Amino acid sequence: DSGVTQTPKHLITATGQRVTLRCSPRSGDLSVYWYQQSLDQGLQFLIQYYNGEERAKGNILERFSAQQFPDLHSELNLSSLELGDSALYFCASSTGRSGGYTFGSGTRLTVV
Amino acid sequence: QKEVEQDPGPLSVPEGAIVSLNCTYSNSAFQYFMWYRQYSRKGPELLMYTYSSGNKEDGRFTAQVDKSSKYISLFIRDSQPSDSATYLCAMSNSNSGYALNFGKGTSLLVTP
């Protein structure tokens, strides 16, 4: 157990729907990162939050949004889902400094 | 052109061999360099973390960074079947909130 908890582990939904992925960071970590992993693109950075505020944005689609709550857990919202959104979504947390992150075990999203 | 390039393999070696994994990158601003190991689409696990140029050793693993050549390496000595996994290089800098840029990963198979 890495200490980063992601729920649900698996999610199957239809095109056009909206889903919410949840992440609880390691105790003491203020920074949360979201990544998408697909077979053709590899791991792609989506967005980072630090202590409740958005810190950096990567290749995140406008249909996707995220937030970090006062208890530091984070949610990634994916809307108007398309088949191409099927992927593994990972959350990672860190102290917010330069050190390597700790990743959760991911949510496997399948859009049908 | 991706900022981080990594040969996807697969790389197959006999047990006990020395494994060399490499990545090249184009962004000279990268300061922090990491290697992650990922088993069967599970969450990536941090193996090695290096700041700037130089070598770092941890057990059977050695990470090397050559910033002048924009080239990083991971060496695995006395490779074991349990080392069979996908190895991902990653790098970041303070300008982008330490968001990680990943290579696509090299698939390694160590045969008994």
How does pLDDT run across B28-41, given as a tens digit for each residue? 999 899 999 999 87
Instruction: Kindly report the average pLDDT of chain B as a whole number.
Output: 92
Which of A42, A56, A105 lies closest to B43 in CB terms? Answer: A105
Q: How far is A57 from chain B (nearest CA, A)?
A: 8
How does pLDDT run across B5-14, given as a tens digit for each residue? 998 889 999 9
The pLDDT value given to residue B108:
97
- Is the Cβ pair A99, B41 closer than 8 Å? no
**Residues of B1-25 as b/e, b for ≥16 C-beta within 10 angstroms?**
eeebebeeeeeebeeeeebebbbbb
CB-CB contact of A2 with A103 (8 Å): yes
Binning pLDDT at 50, 70 and 90, where does residue B98 land? confident
Contact list, A103 vs chain B (CB under 8 Å): 36, 43-45
How does pLDDT run across B60-97, given as a tens digit for each residue? 999 999 999 999 999 999 999 999 999 999 998 877 77
Q: How far is B1 from chain A (nearest CA, A)?
A: 13
- Is the Cβ pair A100, B34 closer than 8 Å? yes
The pLDDT value given to residue B109:
97
- Is the Cβ pair A90, B44 closer than 8 Å? yes
Q: Which structure tokens are listed for A72?
A: 């530091």
Contact list, A43 vs chain B (CB under 8 Å): 44, 88, 90, 100, 102, 105
How buried is A83 (Cβ within 10 angstroms: 0-12 exposed, 13-18 middle, 19+ buried)? exposed
Closest-CA residue to B13 (of B58, B79, B74, B62)? B79
